[in-house]
Copies of this chain bind each other. A is one copy, B any other.
Amino acid sequence: MAVVPEPNTEPAHERSDAARNRALLLDAARSLVAKNGAGAVTMDDVAAAARVGKGTLFRRFGSRAGLMMVLLDEDERASQQAFLFGPPPLGPDAPPMDRLLAFGRERLRFVHAHHELLSAANRDPRTRYGPPVAVLRTHVRVLLASAQTSGDLDAQTDALLALLDADYVEHQLNDGGQTLETLGDAWESLARKLAGR
């Protein structure tokens, strides 16, 4: 397994090895998280599942927390891609209200699937209000504006996003007798009441 040198001096076969290892490690980590939950996944598990040395795993991601954040970041990007550029009803070919409602239900599924990582990120205010959340805020605010929504759009955006917070969603699922379906209905009720005049 090649140790990755400075990017500019790296021969082509080492770069492709590195890219392949990175993809193998992320795929392995993603499968293990899906199967066992993020809290139960160790660096040994990931290295073994990817058949890549543990040294390579640490060199690439720095730490277990680093690996988990890269995983979350990649999934956030794929999700953003879907609601910013993907097919309707999430993407731009649907009317704003349809997109908003589809976004709420999609995000509920996303935060539930990633709740352990998002919950950890929530504990740090820099990530809690960091770049991924800024993209969500902009998206919801733009859709509210496109739907000719009256009143304070920032407050309405933050209120809508609060119901999609990972800790809130898990609390509602575990202790509030809710399901992703009923939470989606509740979100739709709020969004319909806010959007428009």
A contact residues vs B (CB 8 Å cutoff)? 123, 125, 128-129, 150-152, 154-156, 158-160, 162-163, 165, 167-168, 171, 175, 185-187, 189-190, 192-194
User: Is there contact, CB below 8 Å, between A189 and B123?
Assistant: no
Q: Is the CB of A189 within 8 A of B125?
A: no
- Shortest CB-to-CB span from A134 to chain B, Å, is 11
Copies of this chain: 2
Asked if A189 and B151 sit within 8 Å, CB to CB, the answer is yes
Q: Which residues of B contact A194 (CB under 8 A)?
A: 193-194
Asked whether, in the complex, the Cβ of A190 is within 8 Å of the Cβ of B156, the reply is: yes
Do most interface residues of chain A lie in helix, strand or loop, or is the interface mixed?
helix
The residues of B that contact A151 with a CB separation of less than 8 Å are 189-190, 192-193
Told that A158-B163, A162-B163, A162-B165 touch, could you supply 14 new A-B pairs with CB distance under 8 A?
A123-B123, A128-B167, A151-B189, A151-B192, A151-B193, A152-B185, A152-B189, A155-B190, A156-B190, A158-B162, A159-B159, A159-B162, A159-B163, A162-B168
B123 touches A155 (CB 8 A): no
Pair A186/B155 contact, Cβ less than 8 Å: yes
In the assembled complex, the CB of A112 is this many whole angstroms from the nearest CB of chain B, namely 16
